[in-house]
Structure 1
Amino acid sequence: MQSKLLRGTFILTIGTILSKVLGLIYVIPFFQIVGREGTTLYQFSYVPYTIFISVATAGVPLAVSKFISKYNALEEYAVGRKLFKSGILIMLVTGFMAFLIMYFAAPTLAEMSTQGKKANLEDVTTVMRAVSFALIIVPFMSLIRGFFQGHQSMGPSAVSQVVEQIVRISFTLLGAYVVIHFFKGKMVTAVSVATFAAFIGAIGGLLVLFWYWYRRKPHLDELLAHDKGTMDVSLKEIYKEIFIYAFPFVLVGIANPLFQAVDQFTFGKAMAEIGIKAKAANNYFSILNFESHKIVIIPVSLATAFSLTLVPSITKAFVEGERNSLNHQLNQTFQVLLFLTLPASIGLSLLAEPVYTAFYQHDLLGASVLSAYAPVAILFSLYSVTAAILQGINEQRFTVLSLLVGLLIKLSLNVPLIKAMEIKGAVLATALGYIAAIALNIIVIKMYARYPFRFVWRRSLLIVIFAGIMWIGTKLSYKFLLLFLSPASKFNSVIIIVVCALIGAGIYFYLGLRSGLARRLFGNRIDRMMDKLMLPRRRSTGETR
């Protein structure tokens, strides 16, 4: 049973990571097709859509799977089926309501996003309405994924996620290309097709889930036949429990889109007040909220996914009152997060110019924004993990407070800082908001988990030193390569990135291996890697927490 659970978790993790990677890589060809004008329109629609979809579905798969798994363990299979049957109807209704709200609120949201020019308003409204159709299907699909996960069947969720992304991305790229190059259509039409792809992708993912349901229904019905039937849980109690499970995940999932929404609704107006024209302001917004943000999220996705795998063991240790185990798990979580995110963020900041060129085009302003924005990835990761830890120690109520405080700081400082520093002002306001939210989360963790941060501070200093040495080596390599290669060329940029990344990663992981830090964080995985590379193992000494 344990091996089945671990295998299922691994499959789901791989599916999630692959889905995220696909969702990041497609921006390269998409930018080449629609340019900055298209990505600006695209982002205007996707930020509100992400908020709607986060509220409608964030946490639903996990909450439903946790609920069904709990009652399946008690052999009360009918309780889970009762949730599933009523949930399908509720998700369809709430999804359709979310679609109607976004569809009819699109003109208002467009007006808040733009500087009021009629052409811009009509275009943004059209694109927002095109993406809103996906809201009808995605909540319904999330419930089915949660149902399968609750039965320890992770394959359907993983495969449907990947298929959904492949269908969405294919339709996005092909649709936009055909509209522009074959039909010589308008940009707004191309971007509308690209955003409508979310609906088409959702249909693809849903068909996969239907296929799995057809294949596995006999087995599910067999389980239902062995139901004990000793418990009769009311729908009110069911949905109360689901809400308690899902609410923290909604807050964590919605945090980043809300910060982006603050930029969307204030950026253009703040830039207009300092004399920046609407077209230029829209270009700047695309650089910040689409182009740079898509790249910055890369290290966040990988590091957070790895760190969050440790959270269930944190919950177990806290519930059972195992203080030493809890401290060990928290130490591991924070160290793994910093060990993976810090060098990636620093490297991204250093290589911002060739990275931006490789993804989009050579643009010194874009590279400058990416360089400033990259370190904020560390804050994104820390917020997600500290919020998850709060749930693990059953103090998720403070997630609401920390998110509200962070958003209040972002709202208060965004316009003044944009006026003072233009795009980088918005980046700084985001950083300050996240710092405040993380600080509150850490205070709560220290108070309620009685967790001493001294060890993590010391170990963090060691990681910072290693990252600093890596930065020096990568910087020297970068300067040397610039003697022969130009970051203005896409091909040259790729070579610069690959060489510098290999040198930087080599330095950083060598220091991690020689110090024994990597082995203490990743255990047998490092031993297996060293054996494959035929490297001598070094015994870990000193602190082993």
Structure 2
Amino acid sequence: MSENQLIRGTMILTASIFISKMLGLIYIFPFTAIVGHDGLALYGYGYTPYTVLLSLATLGVPLAVSKFVSKYNALGDYRTGQRLLKSGLIVMSITGFVAFIALFFLAGPIANQVLDPDSLEGNSVSDAVFTIRMVSVALIIVPIMALIRGYFQGHQSMGPTAISQVIEQIIRIVFILALTYFIIDVLDGELGTAVGFATFGAFVGALGGLAVLLYYWKKRWTGLQKQIEESTVDHQIPLPKMYKELFAYALPISFVGLSIPLYQTVDLLSFNEAMMGAGFSQGIAETYYASFTQASHKLILIPVAVATAMSLTILPTVTSAFINQETERLQRTITQTYQIIFFLTIPAAVGLMVLAEPSYAALFGMDDFVIGSEVLRSYAPVAVAFSIFAVTASLLQGINRQKYAVIALTAGLLFKAIFNGIFISLFEAQGAVLATGIGYLIAITINVWAIGKFASYNYSFIFKRLLLICSFSIVMAIVVAFLSYGFQQLIPLESRWNAMFILVITILSGAIVYMNMSIRSGLAGQILGHRFDFLKKE
């Protein structure tokens, strides 16, 4: 495959990941309008354990299979990759079914841990059990789909993965919104029934994604068989040795990819109980939980998604630079990656902090927006930590030191698990945010140290850049805060439309101020590179 084709494939996959993530962020706004914060909390009770079990069932398979197949294809051995696919389909079917059974029967214990069976307000235990069991069905087929995607990627064919991801997400979202609206607004049905069927959308969407992959499989069957027949080598690797190599790739990837779901699992098991211990009713505790783990979380993932998508095209360079001992190129790539993350996420996080009230009111409605904006303001800075951890973990993988990312995640997660309940009892909902933020700071500190040590990276230049970006973000925040306050005196936050008007005007103003300073200083052009030469100072 030519370099241009490889770059094109990487860009297609990056675009699909970005589109899928943005769709996954945007649909939560109309969904919340239909089911409210009680429904949003119930949805989180199902999806958080599902995400963890899915990651355990797939074990980082797509990327690991991609690396494995690509390696042996490059050696002229296409049969080994096919053997992995055939045996892997059986393995993924088994792990998926085991994960389904586990989550189905753990639904009761999880629901009873999360909710008070004797509470007369908020969601019921039976609704939570129903929701968890409905989403568990998707575990039967999603691991199989992950394996097929990895196989196509190993053949440097990114289209099947890209298109199936987008189709899966679209079908899932349409199913969720249409069915919840129909059950609640047309049939006047129960909230628990509507949310339970909404989580079943994961299974329906997966069927759509699998159909796309099977279409591509049928379409490319002849070409794949021809490659196998023309194989010049057959390593005849025993299956145990094959899977040992595969899991050596997969386990660190899988564990690091579990970072956010694992943190949310800690909150799932301890948040409501700690909040009720602090004197809140279950209903209010669930409202805070929904705002923290679903609504506010989705908002802060927007800058994370943008920054990660922008940096994906840079990260593969790290591996080749490290292997070829191109020290200068490695340093330059790491610097560029850090700069992009800081340049995009810091002003976005600062903006969310300053505009917490109009942001939450405009996107999630006036119901409970006081609670929601309170959580969002404290949670927004954690977006920067999410982005830095994801990128530093990838950089460590690029220099073959991924075990330090695993150590870092473990250390941060232990802190979260130990102090989450304590912090909530002291600082209420902000305590959970604080425990997450400090946990990620611990993990980032370890990652940053490991990159400095094993990539011989000097952080002095990045600290200067960080100071400049923070300075610009503070100036932007002052302007945005002044405008927001002024508009709210003229147009009080009494309706969603008022909030939306203030939000749009202030975001545009903040973007203009930040980009104007960045362009005039030459910062934007230097960070974003040759593709954005027009941003460079003349």
* TM bracket (short chain): over 0.9
Q: Distance in 1 between matches of 2:194 and 2:151?
A: 36
Greater shift after overlay, 45-54 or 473-482?
473-482
The question of whether the paired residues in 2 share the 8 Å contact of 1:314 and 1:392 is answered with: yes
Deviation at 1:345, TM superposition (A): 0.6
Q: Deviations over 1:299-321 (max 9, x none)?
A: 11111222233221111111222
| 1:88 alignment partner in structure 2 | 89
Q: Distance in 1 between matches of 2:281 and 2:481?
A: 36
| 1:454 alignment partner in structure 2 | 460
Q: Deviations over 1:67-119 (max 9, x none)?
A: 11111112211111111111111111111111011101111111222234387
Q: Distance in 2 between matches of 1:428 and 1:454?
A: 28
Alignment counterpart, residue 432 of structure 2, candidates 422, 426, 440 = 426
C-alpha root-mean-square deviation of aligned residues, in Å?
1.5
Deviation at 1:477, TM superposition (A): 2.2
| 1:504 alignment partner in structure 2 | 510
Deviation at 1:269, TM superposition (A): 1.4
Q: Distance in 2 between matches of 1:133 and 1:252?
A: 25
Q: Deviations over 1:40-91 (max 9, x none)?
A: 1111111101111122235211111111111111221111111111111111
Alignment counterpart, residue 177 of structure 2, candidates 165, 173, 179 = 173
Paired AA for residue 18 in structure 1: I
Q: Aligned pair 1:117/2:121, yes or no?
A: no
2:200 counterpart SS class:
helix
- For structure 1, the residue ranges without an aligned partner over 5 or more in a row are 531-536, 540-545
Alignment counterpart, residue 206 of structure 2, candidates 202, 206, 219 = 202
Alignment counterpart, residue 501 of structure 2, candidates 479, 495, 500 = 495
| 1:48 alignment partner in structure 2 | 49
Regions of 4+ moved over 3 Å: 116-119
The question of whether the paired residues in 1 share the 8 Å contact of 2:92 and 2:144 is answered with: yes
| 1:513 alignment partner in structure 2 | 519
Paired AA for residue 524 in structure 1: H
Q: Deviations over 1:430-471 (max 9, x none)?
A: 111111111111111122222111111111111111111221
| 2:10 alignment partner in structure 1 | 9
Deviation at 1:237, TM superposition (A): 2.3
Q: Aligned pair 1:215/2:191, yes or no?
A: no
Q: Distance in 1 between matches of 2:146 and 2:226?
A: 24
Q: Aligned pair 1:463/2:469, yes or no?
A: yes
The question of whether the paired residues in 1 share the 8 Å contact of 2:80 and 2:234 is answered with: no
| 1:542 alignment partner in structure 2 | none
1:482 counterpart SS class:
helix
| 2:332 alignment partner in structure 1 | 328
Q: Distance in 2 between matches of 1:131 and 1:20?
A: 19
| 2:416 alignment partner in structure 1 | 410
Alignment counterpart, residue 444 of structure 1, candidates 436, 440, 450 = 450
| 2:537 alignment partner in structure 1 | 538
Deviation at 1:364, TM superposition (A): 1.3
Deviation at 1:355, TM superposition (A): 0.9
Alignment counterpart, residue 247 of structure 1, candidates 251, 261, 279 = 251
Q: Distance in 1 between matches of 2:500 and 2:188?
A: 32
Query: TM-score, normalized by length of structure 1?
Result: 0.95
Alignment counterpart, residue 343 of structure 1, candidates 343, 347, 359 = 347
Paired AA for residue 391 in structure 1: Q
Greater shift after overlay, 158-167 or 308-317?
308-317
| 2:274 alignment partner in structure 1 | 270
1:75 counterpart SS class:
coil
Q: Distance in 2 between matches of 1:400 and 1:232?
A: 32
The question of whether the paired residues in 1 share the 8 Å contact of 2:256 and 2:406 is answered with: no
- For structure 2, the residue ranges without an aligned partner over 5 or more in a row are none
Alignment counterpart, residue 182 of structure 1, candidates 181, 186, 208 = 186
Deviation at 1:493, TM superposition (A): 1.9
Q: Distance in 2 between matches of 1:393 and 1:122?
A: 48
1:486 counterpart SS class:
coil
Paired AA for residue 28 in structure 1: F
The question of whether the paired residues in 1 share the 8 Å contact of 2:518 and 2:524 is answered with: yes
Q: Deviations over 1:186-206 (max 9, x none)?
A: 111111100011000000110
Q: Distance in 2 between matches of 1:76 and 1:22?
A: 38
Q: Deviations over 1:310-340 (max 9, x none)?
A: 2211111112222211111111111111001
Q: Deviations over 1:163-205 (max 9, x none)?
A: 1011111111111111112322211111110001100000011
Paired AA for residue 179 in structure 2: G
Alignment counterpart, residue 390 of structure 2, candidates 384, 395, 414 = 384
Q: Distance in 2 between matches of 1:502 and 1:281?
A: 35
Paired AA for residue 241 in structure 2: E
| 1:476 alignment partner in structure 2 | 482
The question of whether the paired residues in 1 share the 8 Å contact of 2:168 and 2:208 is answered with: yes
The question of whether the paired residues in 2 share the 8 Å contact of 1:166 and 1:201 is answered with: yes
The aligned length equals 532
Q: Distance in 2 between matches of 1:484 and 1:457?
A: 41
